[in-house]
Structure 1
């Protein structure tokens, strides 16, 4: 685990503690941002914790909850952090545990390292040049000192599973008609298809694990929704392709809104799955 990976894992754990304090409170306020997406105190507290860690790296940060940064300023960045302090806020608000902290390091528009942490579930994923890994933390992890916790973290290299039946993972909150059409076309191709619903970046992590073969996202997302997950998927040997260009998704674009994309587990050929 390199220095940046260790730092980001530590930041994600500390941010996860703050998120759970809000999640476990009797009540928390929810307000809507300009795009009608929900924002909670947990989003903001997580952002503050992560920013305090990343400031020490002298690498610029693009965060969902940070200040808006114009492209004429970002365009000169060859390296940056892309952060979603709380991915899956809708799941958080519904008191589902399927929300994550996403932090990615992007260089020359490619995610070269990423951490995805699901605080409620205690699932920690990371990927860098050494490979992709998953650790499952103890139920009382949030009561432990983070440095001591990290001394005992043992990651299982990904992929670590092999789904017997063709398995597609889909969004809990955004199962579109296009996704339904894709699944029907896949059933014609494969016969039996198992559809698994998950929230946040856990969908990409299931592909990295090998628990799912495909994650077609046939709807909009933002760069901070996918950068960390893509880093984990690619470190596991899988791929995430922009649907239009048929090339790996690039980051720090002028338009931060992602188009459709297709995520594939290790060993699959994308040419076999452009079914729409």
Structure 2
């Protein structure tokens, strides 16, 4: 199945997951549990996971999801084509009810993200990127949305914007001393710096669309946190590098935790 047809399936999956997430989000109260890695999880995470699995089943590709079974490296090391999914990225933001959470679906080929879909169910922002074609943003997609609609009706990224400040986007929930030191170092290189706080993979999307210049992540993330955004930012002509600013982030590693990285 060609990449565009696969991404059509991923767009549909993200929108369906978004419906389930909004249903839980609209409740006056919902249960929050803590997983073994001490991260929070809600029914919305699991409902979105189930919806995505059903929607992607017809692609016959393996799915590695944060909320699914994490197969051993021996079982997945020979995957040349698979889906890497975070059904609800930004669960802490979901719990805080600040709307800054997303559905992340990436298509990985030979350990590199070749296409990605990110959907913010409450704000209605849909980001889609395919290597060799480009990255696009569409507001409030209809339920029959596909890549052709996104490409024709959406905004091609990055958008051209004039800014006098160097914009740095950082996590709303995970700021640490190392990140503060990185930002201080940037102040010696740029006359004026604007700091933006944002949740979930929307930070990567901001670099892709040009509303931020850089997103430094010095701290723990997992592959499903970054893969879809990586595909989108790369399709927009940018990238995610390790701290040497030369080595690109890769996927389907034995250890699914990412090293520190810079999106720019």
TM-score, reference length from structure 2: 0.94
Distance 1:148 1:82, change over 3 A: closer
Distance 1:228 1:152, change over 3 A: closer
Match of 1:274 in 2: none
Match of 2:155 in 1: 156
Q: Say whether the 8 Å CA contact 2:8–2:146 is kept in structure 1.
A: no
- Residue 207 of structure 1 aligns to a residue whose secondary structure is helix
Match of 2:70 in 1: 68
Match of 2:21 in 1: 19
- Residue 160 of structure 1 aligns to a residue whose secondary structure is coil
Matches within 5 A, 1:106-185: 106-129=108-131, 130-137=133-140, 146-147=143-144, 154-162=153-161, 163-185=163-185
**C-alpha separation between the residues in 1 aligned to 2:108 and 2:70?**
18
Q: Say whether the 8 Å CA contact 1:244–1:260 is kept in structure 2.
A: no
Answering whether residue 260 of structure 2 is matched by residue 263 of structure 1, we say: no
Instruction: Let me know the Cα RMSD of the aligned residues.
Output: 1.6
Match of 1:99 in 2: 101
TM-superposed CA distance for 1:55, in Å, is 1.3
Match of 2:44 in 1: 42
TM-superposed CA distance for 1:148, in Å, is 6.6
- Residue 127 of structure 2 aligns to a residue whose secondary structure is strand
- Residue 170 of structure 2 aligns to a residue whose secondary structure is strand
- Residue 189 of structure 2 aligns to a residue whose secondary structure is helix
Matches within 5 A, 1:83-98: 83-98=85-100
- More deviation, 162-171/59-68: 162-171
- More deviation, 39-48/148-157: 148-157
**C-alpha separation between the residues in 2 aligned to 1:245 and 1:207?**
15
Which deviations, in whole Å up to 9, do the C-alpha atoms of 1:117-157 show, x marking residues without a partner? 101110000100310000111xxx6xx6x127988652110
Match of 1:200 in 2: 200
Residues matched between the structures, number: 258
TM-superposed CA distance for 1:26, in Å, is 1.2
**C-alpha separation between the residues in 2 aligned to 1:116 and 1:151?**
16
**C-alpha separation between the residues in 1 aligned to 2:145 and 2:112?**
32
Match of 1:59 in 2: 61
- Residue 69 of structure 2 aligns to a residue whose secondary structure is coil
**C-alpha separation between the residues in 2 aligned to 1:80 and 1:167?**
34
Distance 1:67 1:236, change over 3 A: same
**C-alpha separation between the residues in 2 aligned to 1:230 and 1:151?**
21
Q: Say whether the 8 Å CA contact 1:158–1:208 is kept in structure 2.
A: yes
TM-superposed CA distance for 1:48, in Å, is 0.4
TM-superposed CA distance for 1:245, in Å, is 7.9
**C-alpha separation between the residues in 2 aligned to 1:172 and 1:148?**
30
Q: Say whether the 8 Å CA contact 1:83–1:103 is kept in structure 2.
A: yes
Match of 2:239 in 1: 239
**C-alpha separation between the residues in 1 aligned to 2:239 and 2:148?**
31
**C-alpha separation between the residues in 2 aligned to 1:11 and 1:93?**
22
Structure 1: state its 5+ residue gaps: 265-276
